[in-house]
Structure 1
């Protein structure tokens, strides 16, 4: 670097994404290179095309020494990138606890519950990305636990959706509301089920969440289990007392959906659980009609053996 500088290289030169040598040194954790560049009057707060400056890159990649050098050089600590992420949020999303401790203990005016452009706080981001140590640190620092992002997701929603079992367990333990709905009417249980996250579903059920909550489209968790053929999760939900005969906005039960999605083992499970075989959907079709319509003989036979009302007719009968 010194040799190049002696030859008159432009220390402020930018690449195709507007990053300077300072950006690269900070992101790579080379504190001595950062110091050298700053001594040659490289602008400390210059942003790349993503709105990332050297300080934010240091936080993103967890380089505490780099951050300290930049702060001592007068870097603007209230900076944020084009997504609205500040220092704390960058470190939280990536799980850099030492950096977070420095930010909270040594820097001023860093807001613990600041939101990004999606309405997510550091707590949301840590939960979404499964950073347990960060979640514990933020809880200990007094963050708000139940804030909602722009889609009305809480940290509980995000941990459940992404299958972060340990983080979900921690958030449940602090006593948050388990049945909060997002904009689509989904609870953490719906999201954990849809993602196929068995342990997350188990944690929520053991914490006594409402197993029968339905979304804006009338879907309960069992509908999602049926749609994806998640037999183990369906058993958990049935054991927890879910309404096996609940209908969604199309008047479909979980059995209707299992037949349509071609999951014979799910159909058997619902039959063994004594579901109502004669419920009709918005087309007045029973699960047997759907099995016949799609030529699914194995499922039709299971339903017939279980005993159905063969006189029920759908809307297009002749």
Structure 2
């Protein structure tokens, strides 16, 4: 209708002309909107006043139950709200729409801070819930309106109020992916371990949707990483199911019970293996072996770790490139079909670990990949524990009856891994070389003046640590071993 178009577009003269011709002011379109509601929606105060003076029905509503107060509040037109509340009668401040939402709900949902302050000043009810049980606090958090959320926190609203699904505002902020709101609520004292009716805590939602920063904030706030939902899934189960590597890493570093099973009897390792998430499988096995090492050695402090910061992800460092290539050659050129399993059991891999590695089938040569992955997982533990990988590999091969292969490895060999090849341009680069055999340096030379280091592999050193080398240093090893 012409009056609708003129009112919505703000053409005051056109509205006046149409009213002079006695057009109907209360006619509605297919959405239930009339000229009065459109003028409130678009904030055209003068037109709204003209329509009211022409006898428009003040308490009209659209098909969703929105009245002029709802329309103005949702769009943030405070000057229109002032006229409605101060000059009009019989417009209830807390009138609800068909979703049981008030103007206060809509202002919070759409981030209208000035409107919110106006409604608060007029004494609106802060605690009304909509049909889904959401308060204005839930809606502000869900939609990421941190300034509105901050104002409602200052009002002292109940942070633990739950909707019909049992979600608090912290749940809705997490599910919406709004880090600022999550931090605000945590700082305000919201309970991070609150669970919904489906027993989901906020970390479950962060893992489900892949919100890494939120997961980090929640773990830092002390959320339980072992909490189980209705399906008995922990956040790690959900991270494994959805291949959330970064979140899985955070949970594993926080320390998690890897023996917990879901309703189908699957651990998080089983879930990752069934989903063919190879990197996650290897990460979980590394973590499981690390937890056992810490328990066996009673060393939970990070000062006892050779590699800091600790990580369970794939190792792509230049310092370990050489030893990793050795692991590949061992797996693909020297180990027979089931020998990687024998080595795994010698190094105390569990049957569950072996099954998870073996789950990924890539053909008749799959055992190459399986063996390689097992060796890299083992190498991770050796590096973290600051042990000698050459000695460990030598002993492992002897232990499974492969003395012929073990004979090619000198058990007293210092692990070099050509670390100096990856030095930065800084003159303060430090190289760590490690061997766990004997004491004393044996033969060899350190020639920093000529920017090279020559080492003989019959070293009997215990630990060469903190060699400060000029830039562009290189390592040369003269042992001619297949390992180097």
User: What is the TM-score with the length of structure 1 in the denominator?
Assistant: 0.90
Partner residue in 1 for 2:171: 190
Distance 1:130 1:67 in 2: 24
Which shifted more, 111-120 or 74-83? 74-83
Partner residue in 1 for 2:160: 179
Distance 2:274 2:68 in 1: 57
Select the residue among 88, 93, 102 that pairs with 1:107: 88
SS in 1 for 2:250: helix
Select the residue among 253, 258, 265 that pairs with 1:277: 258
Which shifted more, 256-265 or 296-305? 296-305
Select the residue among 180, 188, 192 that pairs with 1:211: 192
Partner residue in 2 for 1:85: 66
In the TM superposition, what whole-angstrom CA distance separates every residue of 1:231-263 from its partner, at most 9, and x where no partner exists? Answer: 211111112121111000010000111011001
Partner residue in 1 for 2:242: 261
CA apart distance, 1:311: 5.6
Partner residue in 1 for 2:361: none
CA apart distance, 1:138: 0.7
What is the RMSD of the two structures over their aligned residues, measured on CA atoms?
Answer: 1.5
SS in 2 for 1:243: coil
Does 2:50 match 1:45? no
CA apart distance, 1:295: 2.1
SS in 1 for 2:140: helix
Does 2:39 match 1:54? no
Partner residue in 1 for 2:207: 226
SS in 2 for 1:113: coil
Partner residue in 1 for 2:46: 65
Determine which structure has the larger strand proportion and give its number. Answer: 2
Distance 1:256 1:237 in 2: 17
In the TM superposition, what whole-angstrom CA distance separates every residue of 1:240-297 from its partner, at most 9, and x where no partner exists? Answer: 1211110000100001110110011111111110111111111111111112222222
List aligned pairs for 1:13-162, cutoff 5 A: 20-162=1-143
Highest relative contact order (Cα 8 Å, sep 6+), 1 or 2?
A: 1
Q: For structure 2, which runs of at least 5 residues remain unmatched after alignment?
A: 293-349, 356-484
List aligned pairs for 1:233-244, cutoff 5 A: 233-244=214-225
Distance 1:303 1:103 in 2: 61
User: What is the TM-score with the length of structure 2 in the denominator?
Assistant: 0.59
Distance 1:276 1:200 in 2: 29
Distance 2:261 2:352 in 1: 9
In the TM superposition, what whole-angstrom CA distance separates every residue of 1:192-219 from its partner, at most 9, and x where no partner exists? Answer: 1111100000011011011111111110
Distance 2:122 2:129 in 1: 19
Which shifted more, 188-197 or 285-294? 285-294
Select the residue among 267, 270, 279 that pairs with 1:286: 267
Partner residue in 1 for 2:305: none
CA apart distance, 1:53: 1.2
SS in 2 for 1:247: coil
Distance 2:238 2:251 in 1: 11
Distance 1:171 1:161 in 2: 14
Distance 2:55 2:288 in 1: 78
CA apart distance, 1:168: 0.9
CA apart distance, 1:35: 1.1
Q: For structure 1, which runs of at least 5 residues remain unmatched after alignment?
A: 1-19
The number of residue pairs the alignment matches comes to: 295
CA apart distance, 1:77: 0.8
Does 2:155 match 1:169? no
Distance 1:262 1:312 in 2: 19
Distance 2:39 2:200 in 1: 44
CA apart distance, 1:185: 1.1
CA apart distance, 1:72: 1.3
CA apart distance, 1:67: 0.6
